[in-house]
Structure 1
Amino acid sequence: MLYKTVGRIKEQISAIGIGCWGFGGDWDTSNDRNADAIIRTSIELGINLFDVAPVYGWNHSERVLGKTLKDAGLRHKVIIASKCGLTWGDDHVTANDLTKENLFREIDGSLERLQTDYIDIWQLHWPDPSTPIEETCEALAEIKKSGKIRYIGLSNFAQADMEVFDRLVGVDAQQGLYNMFERNAASYHNIPLKYRTEEEMLPNVRARGQAFLPYSPMFQGLLAGRFTRSRTFSQTDIRNENPKLSGELYQKYFDGYEKLKLLADEIGHPTNEIAVNWLRQKPEVTSIIGGASCVEQVRQNIAALDWSIDDETMARIGEILEPYREMP
């Protein structure tokens, strides 16, 4: 396993992390037994970053991760990156809430579900325009001082807002949507994004010494080679809500995938390894937050670390990806 240490986080972080959204039951392949095996095997193979959130499976992902780490006695070997700021009711309709009151409530709930007394990186999941940044920062500072969190992160934040957070409380890590097809994406699951990853976020994390944790590295499975041109998901799969994975837009992305697949066959490495390597070779990337529905997918992603994309191949990839640089 390869590890990185960035300026603000004094930890060695594995180049590949595990995204725990799939542990919550929102994807077709979700189940607790698979999740337990994925967590244990990932740690055995050197992965130490696990990215989770209360909203994933309506608290279930945190419970699954916490139970496995507790049962296996492995909490001391991992970096838990959880999130806060999304609330919901019985109808599972989410709302943004970064008030001081809610953050105090959320940190204790996450600690209980994760069966730990601290979270390594606590990230604000999405912005909350109705709550003053100063109020949120005051809460973060108090929670950090209490020892319940070690580092502060932002996910999906406009960079102008990030600069205010950084000045008031310090931002150690950022998360953003980033993969070969979504480089400056304007939306995610119909949610408008107030940042552009390559144009704005990457220069900032580089200049400020922040960790950068890109999510959706496989474009929710397309770059892993799991889809066909006529793919369908079950009615309960959260990916049905991604308009980029249906209709004419999906066909355009699949055209690009087919070109990458031809190149992958030529160089003898599958598209998922190319997707991981393309990200890994970006100097700003700290750890790639990849989901996995089985242990084999973890092994496949780690295999990408055994080789690098040469300059000629990277140039050919660039030609394939150029039409997608500014797609939504």
Structure 2
Amino acid sequence: MKTIKDIKTSSLGFGCWAIGGTWNNINDSDSIDAIRAAVDYDINFFDVAPVYGLGHAEKVLGRALEGVERSKVVIATKCGLVWDSNNNVKNDLSACSIFREVDESLSRLKTDHIDLYQVHWPDPNTPIAETAQALAELKQQGKIRHVGVSNYSLDMTREMMEGVEVATFQGLYNLIEQNPKSYHGIPLSYRARDEVIPFCAENDIKYLPYSPLMQGLLTGTLMRTNNWDKNDDRHNNPKLNGEVFDKYFNCVEELKQLAKTAQVPLSYIAIQWLTHQPEVGPVIAGAHTIEQVRENALSLNKVLDQEILLRAEDIVRKWGVQ
């Protein structure tokens, strides 16, 4: 178990990006079954965002959790990425936009409160103080319980903390991408392991790692080429395509040999590398089928020796990937 302030969560969370329909071969029926299976496996933390499928992922999550006792699940969603009638997305963390977004999310999620409300990406056009004040008002109104930041720099995070308590920091972080400089080609203004993890330890903030399996690479099931078509968002990740992908793929091939020695799937090593870190909160592992949920849940059943995790770090260091 993990703790976000006064909320107890499972060590493993359920990431809802894929159920928005942005990956290949996703359908709502399977997604709903997967979410309900997660509850059965005692996974209680669900991370979603309005922009995932332009509202669709929140609707699917809301449908799936109908009939589940609200106190038994922790719902985390986000704000700050909004779209127009032509589905053009822009950053907007103004107070007016946040007040509108939260009500829309509450409606789609079929709930009266959000346990963790996170700013999705920085908005350079809105003062952070304005965003913080709006979030503090939502806490006071009872619409949200806690506030988190995502993809913020440490300076931005400190400024946010001046106006509202920050409970979590969500960012890209996995066994291979320990201090990544970009995500899908978007520059990142933080270094996860070297900067943010120590900051979280000092300030009672939980780090929520997204892409813990590097969008499927750390399952060890990807091929060297032809993993997806242009309809899959992973096609737009430069690290997973073309010549750049070769180094990542070769690193994973060596990690797979380590997993074979440990007699576990590679995903077990990748997930436990994260859950063993006290500063890390629920690991946001995506899933859209019952089998994927089951595999993720079982990853914590066999506790790995620290030696295996250190050997995995050595392999990643050898290949020089980020």
TM-score (structure 2 length as normaliser): 0.97
Instruction: Tell me, in whole angstroms, the C-alpha distance in 1 between the residues paired with 2:91 and 2:43.
Output: 31
C-alpha separation in 2, matches of 1:239 and 1:93:
19
Q: For the Cα contact (< 8 Å) 1:183–1:325, is it kept in 2?
A: no
Q: Which residue of 1 aligns with 2:182?
A: 187
Where does residue 172 of structure 2 map in the other structure? 177
Q: Is the 8 Å Cα contact of residues 114 and 144 (structure 2) preserved in structure 1? A: yes
Match of 2:312 among 292, 296, 317: 317
Deviation at 1:235, TM superposition (A): 2.1
Which of the numbers 35, 38, 43 marks the counterpart of 2:34?
Answer: 38
Question: Does residue 253 in structure 1 map to residue 248 in structure 2?
Answer: yes
Q: Are the counterparts in 1 of residues 247 and 321 from structure 2 also a CA contact under 8 Å? A: no
Residues 6-57 of structure 1: CA deviation (Å, up to 9, x unaligned): 4xx2111100000001111111131111111111111011010000000000
Q: How many residues align?
A: 322
Q: Which residue of 1 aligns with 2:25?
A: 29
Is residue 235 of structure 2 the alignment partner of residue 237 of structure 1?
no
**Map of 1:116 onto structure 2:** 111
1:12 is matched by which residue type in structure 2? K
Specify the code of the residue in structure 1 equivalent to 2:316. Answer: L
Secondary structure at the counterpart of residue 13 of structure 2: strand
Q: Report what 1:167 is aligned to.
A: 162
SS in 2 for 1:168: coil
TM-score (norm 1): 0.95
Task: Say if 2:175 and 2:313, in contact at 8 Å, map to a contact too.
Answer: no
Distance 2:63 2:310 in 1: 45
Contact 2:181 2:187 in 1 (8 A): yes
Relative to structure 1, the CA distance from residue 304 to residue 234 in structure 2 (aligned partners, 3 Å threshold; closer, same or farther) is same
Distance 1:306 1:242 in 2: 31
Bigger shift: residues 302-311 or 17-26 = 302-311
8 Å Cα contact 1:29-1:293 kept in structure 2: no
Contact 2:176 2:321 (8 Å CA) reproduced: no
Describe the SS at the equivalent of 1:153. strand
Larger mean CA deviation between 139-148 and 230-239 belongs to: 230-239
Quick check: 1:181–1:324 contact (8 Å CA) kept in 2?
no
After TM superposition, list the pairs within 5 Å mapping 1:62-101 onto structure 2: 62-70=58-66, 72-101=67-96
State the AA in 2 paired with 1:80.
Answer: I
Instruction: Give the distance between the partners of 2:321 and 2:232, measured in 1 at CA.
Output: 27
Identical residues among aligned pairs (%): 45
Tell me, yes or no, if structure 1 residue 300 matches structure 2 residue 298.
Answer: no
Task: Name structure 2 gaps, 5 residues minimum.
Answer: none
Q: Residue 317 of structure 2 aligns to a residue in which SS?
A: helix
Secondary structure class of the residue paired with 1:81: strand
The separation in 1 between residues aligned to 2:169 and 2:2, in whole angstroms, is 15
CA distance in 2, matches of 1:252, 1:160: 33
* Counterpart Cα distance in 1 of 2:227 and 2:40: 34
- 1:209 to 2:209 alignment: no
Q: Which of 50, 53, 57 matches 1:61?
A: 57
- Work out the CA distance in 1 between the residues paired with 2:318 and 2:120: 30
Residue in structure 1 matching 2:47, options 51, 56, 60:
51
Q: Deviation per CA, 1:90-148: give whole Å up to 9, x if none.
A: 44332110001100110000001001110000000000011011111111111111100
Supply the AA of the counterpart residue of 1:317. A
Structure 1 runs not aligned, ≥5 long: none
